[in-house]
Amino acid sequence: MMHALELKDLRKSFGQTEIIRGVQLAVRAGERVAIIGPNGAGKSTLFNLISGRLAPSGGHIVLNGKRIEGMKPFEINRLGLSRSFQITNIFPKLSVFENLRCAVLWSLGYRYTLLRFLANLDDANARAEALMKMIHLERKREVLGMNLTYAEQRALEMGVTLAGSASAGSASAGSANVVLLDEPTAGMSRSETTHFVELIKEVTAGKTLLMVEHDMGVVFDLADRIAVLVRGEVLAFDTPEAVRANRQVQQAYLGATENT
């Protein structure tokens, strides 16, 4: 079984306090996994470890068979892992198309050499076009980031995140791609959320998805498996049905928040 992402006895302490306490998690290629857990359980810290923003205090992180702990975020990104953020992370004064093209160029590593930049501009334009179609923002092509609706900004953010993947434009090509989404539907209305969940399914088809999400409707709709993180440990990692039926999980988390 090929795993896209493996966390092996992963640990992180801040000062004397161990926040991530020996996390084991093996995510299969092409699988969609949601991480849930109470506030302060360590979900953001876990994402920061995987994406290279924080260095672990112990353990290993393996991306497509390669150990990545201790690498810089951009190096991990080049190895096929892209991440979105809770806050919208787009350039407000660039148009939809320009935002996507920037992200494509950055991901291809063209920011340093003008000659390479010019030689590959057609390629970058084509990939930006493909991404724009994928996130259904063709009709907003020239609109500045700051003038989009909130949901459109989140869709653009998704496009920017996916620009890092080698297979942008062809949904099936990249088993090597792992996408981390940090509360993708936060701040959205119910109807925006429903629409956005469909978009997430569409744009991450064939990719491996790991997301932190508080909305249980979204979690149960999207996830193949759910990891429940409580006080820095994985309490359960199973199918939605099994997690829903798990007594320990109900006590620790779900019972209290499922209907909120």
Per CB under 6 A, residues contacting ligand ATP are 14, 19, 37, 39-45
Q: How far apart are CA 106 and CA 143, in angstroms?
A: 21
**Minimum separation from the CB atom of position 37 to ligand ATP (A):** 6
**Minimum separation from the CB atom of position 236 to ligand ATP (A):** 16
φ and ψ of 174, to 5 deg: -110, 85
Nearer to ligand ATP, 39 or 191 (CB): 39
**Structure-token pair, residue 60:** 């290993």
**Minimum separation from the CB atom of position 237 to ligand ATP (A):** 16
**Minimum separation from the CB atom of position 38 to ligand ATP (A):** 7
Q: Are 21 and 14 in contact (CB under 8 A)?
A: no
Nearer to ligand ATP, 53 or 116 (CB): 53
CB atoms within 10 A of CB 189: 11
Q: How far apart are CA 144 and CA 166, in angstroms?
A: 26
Nearer to ligand ATP, 44 or 250 (CB): 44
Nearer to ligand ATP, 35 or 104 (CB): 35
Q: Are 183 and 214 in contact (CB under 8 A)?
A: yes
Nearer to ligand ATP, 37 or 80 (CB): 37
Nearest to 212 by CA among 82, 47, 69, 8: 47
- 3-state secondary structure at position 188: coil
